[in-house]
Structure 1
């Protein structure tokens, strides 16, 4: 029984290795350049960089009420 399970395990490993070998790869310098370009093109949409208008901010501090 252990021979059968080790054979199945080896087949799964070979299948995974073949899958990983078929993945298209690019150079790190190219990936970094593409990532930089993407970030610069989308910076105007990033609320962490541009901020959130107080009218749209659900986490703004509550206004205090004064009763007279």
Structure 2
């Protein structure tokens, strides 16, 4: 439901017409979202799941 409604809501209120600023804003919001997901232990799937399992079993940090 959110995915169906959000494109219509966002397209009605553009922040700016500048493509570079739009890319910067998009990157900031995406990074914030990813940071929140990782901060609270979530994953996006893929290689993060084995890395989290390795960290849980060995204590090896995810960032190295």
Alignment TM-score, normalising by the size of structure 2: 0.36
Give the structure with the larger helix fraction.
2
Alignment TM-score, normalising by the size of structure 1: 0.34
